[in-house]
Chain A
Amino acid sequence: MQLVLQIVANGLLIGGLYALLAVGLTLIFGVLRVVNFAHAEFMMLGMYGAYWLWSIYGLDPYVSVFLITPVVFLLGVAVDRLVVQRSIGKPDVTVVFATLGLSILLQNAALTLWRADIRSVSTFATGSVFVVGGVRLSVAMTVSFAAALLFALGLWFFLTRTMYGKAIQAVAQNRRAAALMGIDVKRVYLFTYSVAVAAAGAMGVLVAPIFTIFPRVGQTHIVTIFVIVVLGGLGSVPGAVVAALLVGIIRAGAGFLIGTAWGELAYFAVFLLVLIVRPQGFFGRRGAEVYGG
């Protein structure tokens, strides 16, 4: 029984890491109708930020996250203005190539600036564990998990309980109608994109004590994150969280029972099954992928 609990706990914790990335990605898609291929690169930038502040100033990532997240937010503002908004309304392929190009640009910028050296951040949290009912939980993973859930809850509260959140939802539903109602659609885009990539940057900082850091580190996670976003329902924040946790558990469970290599296959099998039975994903609306006005 304890082994089962340990597997579930491992799955939930890794799922929490995925959730923080997936929530931002699904938000961008839901509001802007943009598939942000560069999303994981903002996580990579957050990881490098954590590394440099830790290695030069000795700043713990749990402190530097408060410095780096606003910087990534501002970077998101710049990217939205210079790249994303210029491609919105253009043919789909333009948007795809814009964000894909941005992804390659950011990876190669990191490669040029910081070379391909593999770096790591080691803090008190790296090797620390606490034991609950015989189940060992990594401090670093638990902190990331908690941050992911807090972010998702805060975002859900903001979207459903505040005027600006409702304005964002209105834009997600029909951007033309929202504009006619006096909502500044471009500003909503700017805010949404920047918040989402800032969350990716924050996740990068929080996972720095867990994973090694190199220019292509984002690519380790991006396929899984896209699966989660589609599985949860395009544009659905609760869907992204549920799907992330589910993927984490399936991967850990199948990995233990039938082999690590099969873990990935198992969640892809579930993914295909869900798409057949419920093409819009767990919490998605039918036709969410279609431009809404």
Chain B
Amino acid sequence: MNTGIRRVVCIAMIVTFAMTGVQLFARGQAQQPQPAVTADGAAITTLRVGALFPQTGGMAFGGSNALQGTQIAVELFNETNPYGITVELVSADAPDPATGTTGVRQLITQQNVDVVMGTFSSAVASATAPAAERLNVLYVETTAWAEGITRNTSNVLRTTISSGSLGAAAADFILTGLAQELGVAEADIRVALVFTDDEFGTSIADAAVGRIQSSRARLVVRESYPAATTSDLSSVLLRIQQERPHAVIHIAQVPDGVLFWRQAQQLGVDMPAVVGVGGGYGQVEFARPLGTNADGIFNVVPPTSGSINVDSLTPAAQNLLNELQTRVTQRGWTQGPYTDWGFMGAWVFLNEIVPNAASTSIADMMAAAANVRVDALDSITGFGFEFAGVNHENSGQNLRAIPVVQQWQGGQLRVTYPHELAVADFVNVPLPPWSQRTQAIGQ
């Protein structure tokens, strides 16, 4: 490198460091909580919220849904404005961890947001939540499930479920409700576990393995694969065919979920029960190409307005849901599960935490969150809100976010387990073998 270029590079580096330093200093100054009590008693008058979701790339579909839910929650809050607080929403794209980390830094240091809300992707959240922590900003996770997001962090409030509870719930269901339905004793049940090898998939899988290994059941297949580059799942299906498990837990996104089933049919791999966990099995895009062959496939998921009996919700929650649905329809958007979770997470944060916080500091927000108690029937998603305290191993986790087991029935997802929350009985348990199916996938 010649001297001139070296000098230019040195100057550029010094300028970059200097600018970063100035920004961080300015941020530190701005970070000092400045409570200003409103007429309604709220300490915060204006709140800038950074919305960090994937809007491009492979996760854009779910990420956009979550962002849309967040936007509507903020819009509704500002219109009703019950506490004299104005919320300003600034969004940034987070298609991958690196871009997300840049996005969170820009939101905090350049856009001066008081809180970051995200993220849809566990892989992205695992990078962006610590980035926000380093800049002393609260991170509200409404839609990503990886267990690690609320572990060893002090700045995360998660309104949705954790993957640990999902994996454990899937295994629990197999060992109890499903085993009973199949007429198999726990000691005899064989389980196969197939999962994507990312943070999201492995964290669910680890919890499921822990639960299975603490029982008398046997884990006969444990296979992971890279979701982003997988174009063939025949080898894992042939292993399932050899081991003949009673139930398969499949942690998947939509493309690999559909591929799994299309190849299962091609290879004639019969599985008595398949329990999907994660985003893929809960999407219409998963069930549609499978046609009636989707009937009987399970999905473990936090409940949504689409899967519960909404008539049982309180009138206030029903009105909220109607408002969300109207606005989604007006804009030509699609209301998916992530719309619900993004909306309700943001709504609870804005209505239950922000008005009761002394300032926007993490400590004050966490203190306000510790007092939140929202009943399941007051929530459009069907699960309530109560956040784990700072001494909990998952501090900031919503302890009332409990998964349910849904089943695809006639193109609809219906809650079938636990029985006290079920809106439908089981169908196709065990799943009919391919030789008895009248409609092939795709016909």
Contact = CB atoms under 8 A, between A and B. Distances in A.
Contacts of B259: 210-212
Interface in B214-246: 223-226, 228-236, 238-239, 242
Contact of B443 (A124, A138, A260): A124
Contacts of A210: 259, 262
A126 B258 CA distance: 11
B19 interface: no
Nearest to B259: A211
A117 B235 contact: no
A116 B268 contact: no
Contacts of A215: 58, 60
B234 A212 contact: no
A118 B265 contact: no
B64 to A, nearest CB: 7
A264 B442 contact: no
A254 B238 CA distance: 12
A256 B235 contact: yes
B236 A127 contact: no
B181 interface: no
Interface stretch (B5-13, B75-83, B283-291, B388-396): B283-291
Interface in A241-262: 248, 251-256, 259-261
B424 interface: no
B255 A119 contact: no
A14 B232 contact: yes
B235 A7 contact: yes
Interface string A112-148: 0001111110111111110000001010010000000
Interface core residue of A115, A120, A211 (most chain B CB under 10 Å): A120
B254 A118 contact: yes
A136 B57 contact: no
B442 A122 contact: yes
Given A111-B56, A122-B291, A252 B234 contact: yes
A223 interface: yes
Contacts of B255: 118, 211-212, 214, 217, 220
A252 B237 CA distance: 11
B352 interface: no
Contacts of B239: 256
- Where chain B touches its partner, the secondary structure class is helix
Contacts of B18: none
Contact of B266 (A17, A116, A129, A211): A129
Contact of B231 (A123, A124, A211): A211
Contacts of B289: 120, 122, 126, 212
Contacts, number: 140
B223 A3 contact: no
A256 B442 CA distance: 27
Interface string B86-121: 000000000000000000000000000000000000
Given A6-B267, A224-B229, A260-B224, A126 B60 contact: no
How many interface residues does chain A have, given as a range? 35 or more
Contacts of B58: 116, 214-216, 219
B229 A118 contact: no
A19 B385 CA distance: 52
Given A6-B238, A260-B233, A260-B236, A212 B224 contact: no
A133 to B, nearest CB: 15
B173 interface: no
B188 to A, nearest CB: 25
A224 B60 CA distance: 24
Interface in A153-167: none
B229 A14 contact: no
Contacts of A7: 234-235, 238
A126 B226 contact: no
A127 B442 contact: yes
B270 interface: no
A261 B235 contact: no
A263 interface: yes
A264 B229 contact: yes
Contacts of B57: 111, 116, 216
A115 B443 contact: no
Interface in B271-296: 283, 285, 288-289, 291
A209 interface: yes
Contact of A252 (B223, B235, B258): B235
A254 B265 CA distance: 22
Contacts of B242: 3
A128 B223 contact: no
A34 to B, nearest CB: 24
Interface core residue of B64, B225, B226, B442 (most chain A CB under 10 Å): B442
A169 interface: no
Interface in B418-443: 440-443
A261 B223 contact: yes
Nearest to B59: A116
B262 A127 contact: yes
Contacts of A123: 442
Nearest to B224: A261
Contact of B225 (A108, A141, A219, A260): A260
Given A261-B223, A264-B226, A221 B440 contact: no
Contacts of B378: none
A26 interface: no
B206 interface: no
A254 B236 CA distance: 11
A127 B443 contact: yes
A215 B55 CA distance: 12
B60 to A, nearest CB: 3
Interface of A: 3, 6-7, 10, 14, 17, 108, 111, 115-120, 122-129, 136, 138, 141, 209-212, 214-217, 219-221, 223-224, 248, 251-256, 259-261, 263-264
**Which A-B residue pairs are the 10 nearest by beta carbons?**
A126-B442, A127-B440, A255-B235, A122-B442, A116-B60, A120-B289, A116-B61, A127-B441, A256-B235, A10-B234
24 contacts: A6-B238, A7-B235, A10-B267, A14-B232, A117-B61, A118-B255, A118-B283, A119-B285, A120-B258, A125-B442, A126-B289, A129-B266, A138-B266, A210-B262, A215-B58, A215-B60, A216-B57, A217-B255, A224-B229, A253-B235, A255-B236, A256-B239, A260-B224, A260-B235
Given A116-B57, A124-B443, 13 more contacts: A10-B234, A10-B235, A10-B238, A116-B56, A126-B440, A127-B265, A215-B58, A221-B229, A248-B232, A255-B235, A259-B223, A261-B197, A261-B223
